[in-house]
């Protein structure tokens, strides 16, 4: 099993949505796929963003309607940053995946192999759950307007033409429903791509710790060689994490900045809606937003804490007779005291305390919004 197998479902979704170019295409195949991706993204994603922006500007004086549109608009704007990041930096991401599947990060030892395979299987299960949750929420979002007394489009959008004709309205309804599904499932796939890469880095740290603990345990005489290999392995993991931070730093920054506002607006919608199905839809959407936040922060927190444990595994216990190995392990322990942490845009550390701070800020925004509306 390849280490990157956990990313298979997410990559497949991105391929079908025109974001992830398949490998091995001919020149004509590449041109055809670029045209397909451009048409798909513009038709089902960027047109919707423009229509949502138009709706917000149309109803700036109506708080409830503006919130309806802004909830998804902010999520779509952040998703646009993710899409452009993946498209423009796709070759670098593919090199990272190739590195994870390459000999440097693949182990033949049964114990170490089990660690990697367990992490891959668990990540694959989580990824499939995330995609199914996003798909369920998107379906609910398309069904809700059909159950209301007054039939409206699934998305709060404004178009420069009349959509209330006999044939145009069903077509626009179907178009909006498809757009919600494509954008929602695509966003989940793009988020899990980052989360999966985090998880694979954590698994490599686990392997490094086991290799460090094994030095000197079997009575071998090549401990210095093993320690040197562990140092090189540690450096490869550090470069891998630094590359991941450089590629995905901007999307994660945008995610943290907007999530607090999106959670605030979603909670507001849940508290004011009178429709049970709409409330269920918004609850599903709120769960997806929380899951989206945790997909970054939880693996980032796990990676941070596991990287600190490398110092304990590397610290030499009794190497009085092998000063070379002792010196190498001591330097590794000192380096490991600086955690493998990713700072999104240099402002937010990707960890669970940041997720808690985002939720706390969301509640503060919600309380302020309720207070302002009560005064009006």
pLDDT band of 319, cuts 50, 70, 90: low
Checking if the pLDDT of 132 tops 80, the result is yes
What is the C-alpha separation between 19 and 362, in angstroms, rounded? 31
- Segment among 15-29, 150-164, 168-182, 329-343 with least mean pLDDT: 150-164
Query: Among 184, 169, 219, 149, which Cα is nearest to 48's?
Result: 184
- In whole numbers, what is the pLDDT of the chain averaged over residues? 84
- Segment among 52-56, 197-201, 222-226, 286-290 with least mean pLDDT: 222-226
Do 199 and 119 contact (CB within 8 A), yes or no? yes
Residue with structure tokens 């020149």? 27
Task: Evaluate the CA torsion angle 373, 137, 58, 261 in order and state its sign.
Answer: positive
Do 303 and 202 contact (CB within 8 A), yes or no? yes
Task: Say if strands 348-349 and 343-344 run parallel, antiparallel, or are unpaired.
Answer: antiparallel
What is the C-alpha separation between 102 and 358, in angstroms, rounded? 37
DSSP states of 172-186: HHHHHHHHHHHHHHH
Q: CA distances (Å), 365 to each of 282, 334, 358, 375, in order?
A: 18, 42, 11, 16
What pLDDT does 325 receive? 78
Burial 28-44, CB ≥16 within 10 A → b, else e: eeeeebeeebeebbeeb
Checking if the pLDDT of 266 tops 70, the result is yes
What pLDDT does 214 receive? 78
Cα dihedral value 127, 92, 198, 12, nearest 10: 10
- Segment among 49-53, 172-176, 364-368 with least mean pLDDT: 364-368
Determine the average pLDDT of the residues in 14-36: 90
What pLDDT does 282 receive? 79
pLDDT band of 318, cuts 50, 70, 90: low
In angstroms, how far is the first alpha carbon of the chain from the final one? 60
Say which residue, 167 or 21, is predicted with more confidence: 21
| Structure token pair of residue 52 | 């949502």
What is the C-alpha separation between 187 and 138, in angstroms, rounded? 11
Do 260 and 362 contact (CB within 8 A), yes or no? yes
* Range list of H helices, the chain: 8-16, 27-41, 47-58, 63-88, 90-101, 110-147, 168-214, 223-272, 276-314, 323-336, 352-375
Burial 337-376, CB ≥16 within 10 A → b, else e: eebbbbbbeeebbbbbebbebbeebbeebbeebeeeeeee
Do 329 and 215 contact (CB within 8 A), yes or no? yes
Query: Among 229, 183, 209, which Cα is nearest to 78's?
Result: 183
Cα dihedral value 289, 290, 293, 297, nearest 10: -170
8-state DSSP, 297: H
pLDDT band of 375, cuts 50, 70, 90: low
Say which residue, 244 or 335, is predicted with more confidence: 244
What is the C-alpha separation between 150 and 281, in angstroms, rounded? 17
What pLDDT does 374 receive? 66
What pLDDT does 10 receive? 92
Share of the chain above pLDDT 70, in %: 94
CB atoms within 10 A of CB 54: 15
Determine the average pLDDT of the residues in 346-355: 86
Checking if the pLDDT of 316 tops 70, the result is no
The pTM assigned to this predicted structure is 0.86
The domain ranges of the chain are 3-375
pLDDT band of 294, cuts 50, 70, 90: confident
């Amino acid at each position: 099993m390849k280490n990157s197998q956990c990313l298979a479902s997410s990559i497949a979704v991105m391929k079908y949505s025109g974001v992830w170019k398949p490998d091995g295409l001919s020149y004509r195949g590449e041109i055809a796929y670029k045209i397909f991706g451009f048409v798909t993204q513009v038709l089902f994603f960027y047109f919707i963003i423009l229509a949502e922006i138009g709706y917000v500007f149309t109803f700036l004086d109506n708080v409830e309607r503006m919130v309806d549109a802004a909830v998804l608009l902010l999520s779509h704007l952040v998703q646009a940053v993710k899409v452009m990041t993946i498209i423009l930096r796709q070759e670098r991401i593919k090199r990272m995946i190739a590195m994870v599947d390459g000999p440097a990060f693949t182990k033949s030892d049964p114990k170490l192999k089990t660690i990697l395979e367990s992490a891959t299987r668990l990540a694959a299960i989580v990824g499939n759950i995330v995609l199914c949750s996003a798909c369920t929420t998107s379906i609910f979002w398309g069904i809700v307007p059909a159950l209301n007394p007054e039939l409206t489009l699934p998305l709060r959008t404004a178009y420069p033409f009349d959509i209330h004709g006999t044939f145009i309205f069903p077509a626009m309804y179907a178009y909006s429903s498809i757009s919600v599904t494509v954008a929602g499932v695509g966003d989940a796939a793009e988020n899990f791509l980052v989360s999966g890469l985090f998880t694979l880095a954590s698994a490599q740290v686990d392997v490094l710790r086991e290799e460090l603990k094994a030095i000197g345990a079997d009575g071998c005489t090549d401990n210095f060689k093993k320690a040197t290999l562990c140092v090189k392995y540690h450096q490869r993991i550090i470069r891998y994490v630094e590359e991941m931070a450089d590629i995905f730093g901007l999307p994660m920054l945008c995610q943290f900045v907007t999530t607090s506002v999106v959670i605030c607006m979603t909670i507001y919608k849940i508290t004011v809606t009178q429709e049970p199905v709409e409330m269920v839809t918004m609850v599903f959407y709120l769960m997806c937003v929380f899951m989206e936040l945790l997909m970054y922060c939880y693996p980032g927190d796990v990676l941070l804490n596991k990287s600190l444990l490398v110092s304990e595994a590397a610290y030499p216990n009794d190497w009085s007779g092998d000063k070379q190995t002792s010196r190498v392990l001591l330097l590794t322990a000192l380096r490991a005291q600086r955690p493998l942490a990713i700072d999104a845009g240099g402002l937010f550390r990707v960890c669970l305390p940041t997720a808690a701070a985002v939720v706390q800020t969301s509640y503060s925004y919600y309380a302020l919004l309720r207070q302002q509306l009560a005064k009006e």
